[in-house]
Chains A and B, each alone.
Chain A
Amino acid sequence: MVSKSKRVLALVLTAMMASAALAGCGPTEVTQTQNSTAGETTESKAAGDSAESGDGESKASAEAVDIYSDEMIKNVKDKMKEEAAQTDGVISLKVWCSGDDLQFEKKLIKEFEEKYKSDDGSYSFKIKASGAIGEDNAGGKIIESPQDGADVFNFADDQLSTLVEAKAIAQVSDVFQNNLIANNTEDAVGVCSINGTPYAFPKTSDNGYFLYYDKRVFKDDSEVASFDDMIQKANSNKKSVYFNLTNGWYNAGVYFTAGVKIEYKDGKQTTTFDSDEGLAAAKAMCHLAESSDKGFLGTAGSSGDNAAVQKGFKEGTLAAAVIGTWMGPAIKEAIGEENVGAAKLPTILINGEQKQTESFGGYKIVGVNQFSKYQITSQALAYFLTNPESQLKRYNERGLIPTSNEALADEKVKVDPALKAINDQKAYAHAQGKSVSGVFWASNVGGFGGEIVAAKGKIDDAALKKSLKDLDEQINK
């Protein structure tokens, strides 16, 4: 099967080369017809893949090819040479990633350059990675001025649909499409696709939050069952439980729990904050905020989440925090690996009832700029940064949970407490891409949480209702 698909691919490739050559002088229609047939074949192949990919064994998946076989590498290199020709043999790419990951990603990029080094020196790479634009707003910056944007950029999955609408992100090239589908979990592939077409490469599956706790305060998972109990226990230890209510990404979990609808569908954002459920959620937050300074910490202060959590664990003022894997290494360093526990979120008191707190769950993914001059090089790089091997390296160095079946099957990954926590939380996690878009983040959902925290929950129902109504108005245009 593998060899057959290779042959098909090689065929398609030759056709493409020829058509690309033709496109230079001949009518473009020729190209288009060939393209569309090629598209159809790959689509049917893709459908076959996703059905099979469920078994979790990427090697067994029939349609995956060895991207790094000599033949494939040569094909890609030929194409790179062609792309380099438009800019005097230099392929200059920009990569955006999180500042935290910068050093790590730079290492991967070096490996990539080595792998695709020109055999005859006909082209060279000039790849510049920058941590200035983080994963939280890369999509927006690309849309704003795609011509200034990175060729390859890391971003959170909820930005994908707006990127596609703005025609700013490139489809995943057929060369990598099969492997992408075969390598990664079905869920991850789904997140990276719009209407069945993959637009991005899944990188990590941990863009969500759960509970990290200090085992010296809470013995095990049984003691972190509800916020109320935790807060009480933390307070008696003169410590706090951290849950940042001043940030819409975190406090949305409370709204979800109460049954508020936060949906993003067909380019439209809808929310039902102004409802009984919304009020219940707001009151639940008020309830938590009442314990501010008495075992609960609901704000990051001026320094931001990460700094607040790191400082809190280091100075011993925090006993538990609702945060994600990216803080895992820092927390381990602060209180010692043996003292770090991870669990799904605790329950929260809503309308007098303890309910499992829901959350956002998402992926961090890698996209290629639609306007990049070096489409294939960029795609090859994006694929390289997210292939199973790189994902495993990323886990080992940065503690970020992979999306590839192969990497997830790794012994060390399998037993990671954070992975278990994420999996436990999964049933209560809402996919970010299907829930929210830029309009949501631009609203003052976080600011409202900030009001509640600042007032220590002492806000009357009428004022809460008014605020909830304002929120709806901001979001549902």
Chain B
Amino acid sequence: MNYLDYVQMTKGQRFAYNIKSFFTGIPGAIVKLFVVIGNFLKNVFSFIVTGFKNYGSRFAKGDIGTKLSYVVMGAGNMMHGQIGKGICFLAAEIAYFAFMINFGWSYITKIYATNVQVDENTLVNGVIGKEPPIYQEDSVFGGSKKVINLDTLDNSNKVLLFFVMTVIVCIAFFAIYITNTKSAYATQKTLAEGKKPIGFIAELKMFLDERFHVTLLTLPILLLILFTILPIIFTIFMAFTNYDKEHQPPGNMYWWVGFANFADVFYSNPLKSQTFGKILIWTLVWAVFATFTNYIFGIILALLINKKEIRFKAFWRTMFVITAAVPQFVTLLLMRLILSDDGAVNSLLQGAGLPVIPFLSDATAARITVIVVNMWVGIPYTMLITSGLLMNIPEDLYESARIDGANAFQQFTKITFPYIFFVTTPYLITTFVGNINNFNVIYFLTGGGPSPSSYYQAGQTDLLVTWLYKLTVNSSDFNLASVIGIIVFVVCAAGSLITFNMSKASKNEEEFS
């Protein structure tokens, strides 16, 4: 279909076309996911190869200044007349080497220490950090007290963290270094063409215009690297160590164990792998139910409120919105107390001579309870969003449908629902991912329980993320927690990439309009 065909369609036809292309796109999107991954790898590979090729050819074609800048950064710029920029490059180089000599290098050497005596009779290879913490005799007030000096201690956590930091600094420096050689060569060419290279002030001014994106992105990205990317890399590394209850710095060290933790979770440790399997399945079941119950009932509620003849629309909407606005932990804790075995509902039931319902203490009941309570929490949101959308549906669509003799139900399935579904797909995806990561509802309502003995550190309503949280906070299984984190990432990423590509396929419309 080309542009001409598209613009000639009526509004209704365009709409139908978009919907159709969305659904027919699903299988294609899955295939495309793999193509995307393949392309990505190809791009990375070619990027590296051409990078090296250009790096070499620049050196070969460069004059003295350019060649010198391969060792002394900024030399080329300075010799070609860009003093200010050259000094900046040189300063970066000096700062980098000062950093590496005084700080960075030692952590690179400490990341895999061999033959470390971790206790009286064990030598281990691959320990993170070089010297095990040993009590030093110290004279504290009359006796044989022993203390450890925290400041001088080689702490596995510290070493790993500083190692990651050093690596990031190295990568950043490498990028600056390459820019330096490029810049030296570029100015050389400008001179050869008989022009004058751009001045330092003029170049700075570019950051407010041509390079404004650099100005806007620098601070957010710096913080992102420091407080999001760095911790994530650090945590991913943890998945390959034995950082658990028995190996907690600073008192003890931990070391590399390869893929042992992944093996534990997937097959080698029956208890952990069974727990993982059950929790993974429940997480997916939960995410599907939690997402679609809210979605469908939210739409129905919105339809009811927005029915033409219904009055006091704002009142009804506000009533529901109030529950969405009260902070979740409050309402959820409240629900827990209301629904517990000795809570308000059961007190009422008992008062009426009825048996107690184990809303939260029986596995199946608890699972149903969390889904139902999640509806209570989530339906107002969907209602709010779809209410707005319903008013947006062009009235002429309904007109023509009515002329064709469609009844109310048909109008809903043919017009209303497809439209809403189409517009809210991104919202649906984020809700689904959000539900996979829905910590609040589970943690505050059931705390993951009930917890039978066949679960390791978890209960029957635990999701992967609440399990992760418990492993971190309750049982100090940091390595296992980080394995789970990686798995959650993979699940979410795969799901999202597929749907993302799908919505891209159907978003052609954006380019037309």
Interface residues of A (CB under 8 A from B): 9, 12-13, 16, 19-20, 23, 28, 31-32, 34-36, 38-39, 42, 79, 140, 143-144, 146-147, 165-168, 170-171, 173-175, 177, 293, 299, 301-303, 308, 311, 370-371, 375-376, 379, 438-439, 442-448, 450-451, 453-454, 466-468, 470-471, 473-474
Docked complex Cα distance between A445 and B452 (Å): 8
Given A38-B143, A167-B133, A302-B336, decide whether A144 and B248 contact each other with a Cβ distance below 8 A: yes
Which residues from chain A contact B35 at a C-beta distance below 8 Å? none
Interface residue tally for chain B (C-beta within 8 Å): 48
Which residues from chain B contact A140 at a C-beta distance below 8 Å? 476
| Interface flag for B453 (CB, 8 Å) | yes
- Of A9, A13, A32, A471, the contact of B453 (CB 8 Å cutoff): A471
- B135, B137, B337, most chain A CB atoms within 10 A: B137
Q: Is the CB of B145 within 8 A of A147?
A: no
Docked complex Cα distance between A370 and B355 (Å): 54
- Of B144, B270, B455, the contact of A444 (CB 8 Å cutoff): B455
Which residues from chain B contact A450 at a C-beta distance below 8 Å? 361, 449-452
Q: Give chain A's interface secondary structure class.
A: helix
Q: Is the CB of A175 within 8 A of B453?
A: no
| Interface flag for B131 (CB, 8 Å) | no
| Interface flag for B358 (CB, 8 Å) | yes
Q: Is the CB of A146 within 8 A of B251?
A: yes
CB closest chain-A residue, reference B445: A302
Docked complex Cα distance between A2 and B143 (Å): 19
Given A23-B139, A301-B342, decide whether A370 and B450 contact each other with a Cβ distance below 8 A: no
Docked complex Cα distance between A453 and B342 (Å): 14
Docked complex Cα distance between A460 and B146 (Å): 54
Min CB distance, A142 to chain B, in Å?
10
Given A13-B141, A473-B270, decide whether A448 and B148 contact each other with a Cβ distance below 8 A: no
Which residues from chain A contact B146 at a C-beta distance below 8 Å? 171
Q: Is the CB of B141 within 8 A of A301?
A: no
Q: Is the CB of B145 within 8 A of A170?
A: yes
Which residues from chain A contact B140 at a C-beta distance below 8 Å? 16, 173, 375-376
- How many contacts A-B (CB < 8 Å)? 162
Q: Is the CB of B341 within 8 A of A299?
A: yes
Interface string of B345-368 (1 = CB under 8 A from A): 000000000011010111000000
Min CB distance, A420 to chain B, in Å?
31
- Of A79, A166, A171, A447, the contact of B455 (CB 8 Å cutoff): A447
Give 21 pairs: A residue, B residue, CB < 8 Å, sorted on A: A23-B139, A28-B136, A35-B145, A42-B143, A144-B248, A167-B135, A173-B143, A302-B342, A303-B340, A370-B147, A371-B148, A371-B150, A443-B453, A444-B451, A444-B453, A444-B455, A448-B452, A470-B271, A473-B271, A474-B271, A474-B453
CB closest chain-A residue, reference B269: A473
Which residues from chain A contact B355 at a C-beta distance below 8 Å? 293
Q: Is the CB of A35 within 8 A of B147?
A: no
Interface residues of B in 422-453 (CB under 8 A from A): 449-453
Which residues from chain A contact B361 at a C-beta distance below 8 Å? 299, 450, 453-454
CB closest chain-A residue, reference B147: A370
Min CB distance, A354 to chain B, in Å?
27
Which residues from chain B contact A375 at a C-beta distance below 8 Å? 140-141, 145, 147
| Interface flag for B109 (CB, 8 Å) | no
